[in-house]
């Protein structure tokens, strides 16, 4: 593997967590930023200029996962491309959950990276987010919903680094749709929060995703207005669990806008009132009233 020559800075955590990790120009360090959407920085902040001195003084522990002796563990990720389970020692995310966290982190910060997903008993999935493309020897009909293991490999690259497979490849949306629905079957994706409301920012390519009718109908509702998961479930007559899975997938695909809970409650209260409320109008539009 050739030297990527990527400058030192904060980059999406290759362990798959919704945080940034410090790349010292040669390897991943134990230092993390816990900010959910911290900016990418190319200047070491105070306390990180000399990691050895930080370790000697013990001040690094507030900036790390807090589990065990960081110096004994050493760098959490080797230089170049390495295979490792997604997550951290403190809060591991296994299977598709870890893959989803890594994919979301890389997509959100738009740092040039290549990703490989080693799926147990299946060929490796190669992903180039720069071109919104992936490559897999199998069709997505063979996608394993609950694999025995998924190992995530991340490589920092330059903007001009050649893709690892022949373009155009396969549309990354198709893979994100599958991963997003399988990653968190019983909970909200970690980068989302309870009480948020969502709206559609662009239409997915349904011709390749093969959704069911309810997926299309709920997505159309999000294209018309901003809704919480509970509102969308109630409006469409679907369960909260299945609606949450849809939101997880659409969010991983990057097609949703997000409103924080503090801005949602007053609007939700207004919309719920009256026979001619937005809810009632949408129900009539989609022939559910």
pTM of this structure: 0.69
Token representation of residue 272: 């719920």
Comparing 20-29, 153-162, 163-172, 263-272, the range with the smallest average pLDDT is: 263-272
For 116-140, b/e burial (b = at least 16 CB within 10 A) is bbbbeebeebbbbbbebbbbbeeee
Q: Which residue has the higher pLDDT, 108 or 277?
A: 108
| Rounded distance between C-alpha atoms, residue 43 and residue 10, angstroms | 9
Going by pLDDT thresholds of 50, 70 and 90, the confidence category of residue 273 is: very low
Write down the pLDDT at residue 281: 61
If you average pLDDT over residues 107-130, what whole number do you get? 90
Alpha-carbon distances of 63 from 34, 48, 59, rounded to whole Å: 8, 10, 8
Q: What does the alpha-carbon distance between residue 154 and residue 115 come to, in Å, rounded to a whole number?
A: 5
Q: What is the pLDDT of residue 261?
A: 86
**What integer pLDDT is reported at residue 190 of this predicted model?**
87
Inter-residue contact 55 to 71 (CB < 8 Å): yes
Q: Is 249 left (phi over 0), alpha (psi -120 to 50) or beta?
A: alpha
> Residue 208 in 3-state DSSP?
helix
Among residues of the chain, what percentage have pLDDT more than 90?
45
């Amino acid at each position: 593997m050739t030297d990527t020559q990527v400058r030192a800075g904060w980059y999406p955590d290759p362990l798959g967590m919704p945080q940034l990790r410090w790349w010292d120009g040669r390897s991943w360090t134990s230092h993390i930023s816990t900010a959910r959407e911290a900016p990418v920085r190319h200047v070491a902040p105070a306390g990180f200029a000399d990691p050895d001195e930080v370790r000697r003084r013990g001040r690094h522990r507030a900036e790390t996962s807090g589990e065990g002796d960081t110096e004994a563990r050493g760098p959490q990720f080797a230089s170049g491309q390495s295979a490792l389970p997604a997550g951290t020692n403190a809060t591991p995310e296994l299977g598709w959950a870890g893959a989803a966290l890594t994919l979301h982190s890389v997509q959100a910060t738009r740092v040039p990276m290549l990703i490989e997903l080693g799926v147990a008993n299946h060929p490796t999935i190669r992903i180039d987010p720069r071109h919104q493309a992936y490559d897999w020897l199998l069709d997505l009909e063979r996608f394993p919903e609950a694999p025995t293991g998924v190992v995530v490999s991340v490589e920092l690259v330059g903007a001009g680094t050649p893709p690892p497979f022949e373009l155009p490849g396969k549309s990354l949306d198709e893979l994100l749709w599958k991963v997003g629905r399988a990653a968190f079957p019983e909970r909200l994706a970690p980068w989302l929060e309870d009480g948020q409301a969502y709206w559609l920012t662009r239409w997915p390519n349904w011709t390749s995703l093969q959704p069911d009718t309810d997926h299309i109908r709920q997505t159309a509702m999000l294209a018309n207005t901003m809704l919480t998961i509970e509102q969308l479930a109630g409006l469409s007559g679907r369960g909260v669990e299945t609606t949450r899975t849809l939101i997880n997938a659409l969010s991983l695909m990057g097609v949703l806008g997000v409103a924080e809970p503090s801005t949602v409650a007053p609007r939700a209260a207004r919309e719920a009132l009256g026979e001619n409320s937005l809810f009632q109008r949408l129900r009539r539009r989609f022939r559910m009233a």
